[in-house]
Amino acid sequence: MSALRYLSGALGAERAHLLVPENRIARSSLHEYHWHAQDADAAFLLTRTSALFAGWYMVEIELEGDFPPSYGRLFFDTGNGFEDAPVNVVLSPARLAKRLVKLTHKCHRIRFEPRAPSSHFNVRHLRFVPVSKGFAIGRMLKRISNQRAHLRSVRGQDLSRLAVANDVERTLREIAAKRQQPYQQLLVSLYQDTFCKPRTTADYSRGYDHWIADYEQPRYGDPSQLRERMASFTHTPTLSIVMPVHPGNAVYLREAIASVVEQVYTHWELRLLVSAACTDAVRETLSDYAEDDARIVVVDCDVEVIDARSLNLAVDSAKGAHVSWMCQCDTLAPHALFAIAKVLNKHSRANIVYSDHDEIDAAGKRVHPHFKPDWNRDLFYSRDYIQHLTAIERSLISDVGGFRSDIAGGREYDLLLRVLAHCRFSNIHHVPAILYHARQGEREVTHSAEDATQSGIQALQDHLAVQGMPESVVEQGYTHETYRIRYPIAEEAPQVSLLVPTRDNIKFLEPCVSSILRETRYEHYEVIVVNNQSSDPETLAYLQSINAHPKVRVLAYDDAFNYSAINNFAARHARGDMIGLINNDTKVIDGDWLREMVSHAQRPDVGCVGAKLLYRDRTVQHAGVVLGLGGVAGHGLTGIGEHDPGYHGRAMLVQNYSAVTAACLLLRKSLFEEVGGLDEKFFRVAFNDVDLCLKVREAGYRNLWTPYATLFHYESKSRGHEDTPEKLARFHSEVAAMKLRWNQCLFPDPAYNLNLALDSAFRIQG
pLDDT, tens digit, for every residue of 640-667?
888 888 999 999 999 999 999 999 999 9
Do 152 and 87 share a structural domain? no
Residue 578's nearest CA partner among 592, 598, 563 is 598
Residue 335's nearest CA partner among 209, 214, 221 is 221
Quote the number of domains for the chain.
4
Do 277 and 140 share a structural domain? no
DSSP structural state of residue 597: H
Do 517 and 385 share a structural domain? no
Q: 704 in helix, strand or coil?
A: strand
Q: Is the CB of residue 22 less than 8 Å from the CB of residue 111?
A: yes
**pLDDT score for 332:** 98
Give the mean model confidence (pLDDT) for residues 245-249: 93
Show the 3-state SS of 571-585: HHHCCCCEEEEECCC
* pLDDT over 80 (residue 277): yes
* pLDDT over 80 (residue 149): no
Instruction: State the pLDDT confidence band at 206, using cuts at 50, 70 and 90.
Output: confident
Q: Which residues contact 377 (CB under 8 A, 6 or more apart)?
A: 425, 656, 702
**pLDDT score for 722:** 53
* Weakest-pLDDT range from 197-201, 271-275, 295-299, 741-745: 197-201
* Weakest-pLDDT range from 64-73, 196-205, 333-342: 196-205
Residue 192 identity (one-letter amino acid): Q
The rounded distance, in Å, linking the Cα atoms of 627 and 760 is 12
**Is residue 463 in some structural domain?**
no
Do 178 and 32 share a structural domain? no
- Among 385, 416, 447, which residue terminates a domain? 447
* pLDDT over 70 (residue 163): no
Q: Is the CB of residue 382 less than 8 Å from the CB of residue 483?
A: yes
Do 304 and 419 share a structural domain? yes
Q: Is the CB of residue 147 less than 8 Å from the CB of residue 192?
A: no
Do 291 and 165 share a structural domain? no
* Weakest-pLDDT range from 136-140, 236-240, 253-257: 136-140
**Is residue 180 in some structural domain?**
yes
**pLDDT score for 91:** 86
Q: CA torsion sign, 66 to 72 to 76 to 82?
A: negative
Instruction: State the pLDDT confidence band at 47, using cuts at 50, 70 and 90.
Output: confident
**pLDDT score for 37:** 87
Residue 398 identity (one-letter amino acid): S
Range of the domain at 263: 232-447
Asked, as a colleague might, if the bond just before 389 is cis with ω within 30 of 0, I would say yes
- C-alpha distance across the termini of the chain, in Å: 50
Q: 117 in helix, strand or coil?
A: coil
**Is residue 212 in some structural domain?**
no
**pLDDT score for 110:** 92
Give the mean model confidence (pLDDT) for residues 729-749: 92
Q: 258 in helix, strand or coil?
A: helix
- Of 719 and 204, the structure prediction assigns the larger pLDDT to 204
Residue 119's nearest CA partner among 67, 62, 42 is 67
* pLDDT over 90 (residue 202): no
**pLDDT score for 375:** 98
* pLDDT over 50 (residue 189): yes
Buried/exposed code over 49-69 (b: 16+ C-beta within 10 A; e: otherwise) = eeebeeebbbbbbbbbbebee
* pLDDT over 90 (residue 532): yes
* Weakest-pLDDT range from 35-39, 175-179, 670-674, 722-726: 722-726
**CB 565: neighbour CB atoms within 10 A?**
21
Give the mean model confidence (pLDDT) for residues 436-460: 84
Q: Which residues pair with 622 in a beta bridge?
A: 613
CA-based max dimension of the chain: 90
Give the CB-side neighbour count of residue 762, counting CA atoms within 13 A.
27
Q: Is the CB of residue 252 less than 8 Å from the CB of residue 328?
A: yes
**Is residue 203 in some structural domain?**
no
- Of 533 and 448, the structure prediction assigns the larger pLDDT to 533
pTM of the shown model: 0.81
**pLDDT score for 198:** 64
**pLDDT score for 98:** 92
Question: Do the strands 633-635 and 352-360 form a parallel or antiparallel pair, or are they unpaired?
Answer: unpaired
Instruction: State the pLDDT confidence band at 160, using cuts at 50, 70 and 90.
Output: very low
Give the mean model confidence (pLDDT) for residues 465-487: 94
Residue 660's nearest CA partner among 680, 689, 684 is 689
Do 355 and 324 share a structural domain? yes
Give the mean model confidence (pLDDT) for residues 311-338: 97
The rounded distance, in Å, linking the Cα atoms of 394 and 397 is 5
Buried/exposed code over 319-337 (b: 16+ C-beta within 10 A; e: otherwise) = ebebbbbbbbbbbbbbbbb
Give the mean model confidence (pLDDT) for residues 400-420: 92
* pLDDT over 50 (residue 576): yes
* Weakest-pLDDT range from 23-27, 160-164, 265-269, 428-432: 160-164
The CATH number assigned to the domain holding 512 equals 3.90.550.10
Q: Which residues contact 21 (CB under 8 A, 6 or more apart)?
A: 35, 43, 44, 45
Instruction: State the pLDDT confidence band at 766, using cuts at 50, 70 and 90.
Output: confident
- Among 381, 413, 447, which residue terminates a domain? 447
**Is residue 485 in some structural domain?**
no
Question: Do the strands 268-274 and 296-300 form a parallel or antiparallel pair, or are they unpaired?
Answer: parallel
Q: CA torsion sign, 398 to 400 to 406 to 410?
A: negative
Rounded to the nearest 5°, which phi and psi values hold at 18?
-70, -20
**Is residue 14 in some structural domain?**
yes
Q: Is the CB of residue 389 less than 8 Å from the CB of residue 436?
A: yes
Report CA-CA distances (Å) from 407 to 138, 168, 198. Answer: 44, 32, 35
- Of 344 and 181, the structure prediction assigns the larger pLDDT to 344
Q: What stretch of H or E contains 746?
A: helix 725-746
Percent of the chain with pLDDT over 70: 92
Report CA-CA distances (Å) from 623 to 151, 475, 731. Answer: 19, 22, 23
Could you give the residue ranges of the DSSP H alpha helices within 627-687?
A: 669-674
Do 326 and 418 share a structural domain? yes
**pLDDT score for 29:** 86
Do 158 and 243 share a structural domain? no
pLDDT in tens, 100-109: 999 988 988 8
Q: 481 in helix, strand or coil?
A: coil
* pLDDT over 70 (residue 445): no
* pLDDT over 50 (residue 604): yes
Do 680 and 550 share a structural domain? yes
The rounded distance, in Å, linking the Cα atoms of 307 and 309 is 5
Q: Is the CB of residue 312 less than 8 Å from the CB of residue 402?
A: yes
The rounded distance, in Å, linking the Cα atoms of 634 and 760 is 9
**Is residue 101 in some structural domain?**
yes
**pLDDT score for 696:** 99
Do 59 and 165 share a structural domain? no
The rounded distance, in Å, linking the Cα atoms of 707 and 203 is 22
**Is residue 218 in some structural domain?**
no
* pLDDT over 70 (residue 602): yes
Could you give the residue ranges of the DSSP H alpha helices within 180-241?
A: 183-193, 201-205, 208-211, 217-220, 223-230
Q: Is the CB of residue 61 less than 8 Å from the CB of residue 46?
A: no
Do 60 and 116 share a structural domain? yes
**CB 171: neighbour CB atoms within 10 A?**
18
Q: Is the CB of residue 387 less than 8 Å from the CB of residue 233?
A: no
Give the mean model confidence (pLDDT) for residues 545-552: 97
The CATH number assigned to the domain holding 118 equals 2.60.120.430
DSSP readout, 301-331? -SSSS--HHHHHHHHHH--SSEEEE--TT-E
If you count them, how many residues does the chain have? 766
Q: 748 in helix, strand or coil?
A: coil
